[in-house]
Amino acid sequence: MTSASSEAAAEIALCCPLHDDPDVPADAVLYRRLPPWHLHPAPGTPTGHRPSSNAFQDCDPQGVSIYVAELLERLKLGASDVVADKEAGWGVAQFLAGDARTAGFGVRLRPDPAADDDPRNEAHGELTGLQRGNPGGRQSKALSKKSLVIYLR
């Protein structure tokens, strides 16, 4: 296989290309909204719930949607605002950018072009580099273990 075709194969194996923004420090706190179907009982945790192993997967070719806590705070918003437009039962998982990178993701800031008028959009970003199939499942599982569900709507 040629180098070019190897690179092409590697791209195909990714749901979205790996982009990592070094301006997002490893200790940056990130939030991800989770549907009720990705939350399971976990006694002893702050909300009594944990994210499912596959909670950090997303078909979006741009990446796995996240919000940066510090940027939300600058907008006078918090974790609860991440799911303010969702039904009861949705939750918010918190984790560190460094943990996402350890799990094989890249982290980047990128407002959602489809959400220009969303007040949270300046704090929006993505986890990139999610692999397809079982390798992506392992990435998601690794990050879910480092995540804490901090808010339930």
Partner 1 sequence: MTAPHYLARRRAHTWDQPRPVRHLVSVPTVVDLSANSRLARERRPGHNGRHVVARLNQLIALQPGWDGSNAQPITEDAVMAALEVLNDIALERAPLPDISPGIDGGLLFEWRRDGFELEVWVDAAGAVTVTYEHGDSSWEGSWSDCGLGARQVLDHLADSLPVE
Contacting positions for partner 1 (CB under 8 A):
33, 35, 37-38, 40-41, 52-55, 57-60, 65, 86, 133-134, 137-138, 141
Beta strands 148-152 and 106-109, pairing class:
unpaired
Nearer Cβ to partner 1 (40/146):
40
Sign of CA dihedral 57, 63, 66, 68: positive
- C-alpha to C-alpha distances, 19 to 11, 16, 47, 64, 105, nearest whole angstrom: 12, 9, 32, 12, 8
Nearer Cβ to partner 1 (26/115):
115
Nearer Cβ to partner 1 (42/75):
42
State in angstroms the smallest separation of the CB of 2 from partner 1: 29
State in angstroms the smallest separation of the CB of 4 from partner 1: 28
State in angstroms the smallest separation of the CB of 26 from partner 1: 25
> Is the CB of residue 48 less than 8 Å from the CB of residue 42?
yes
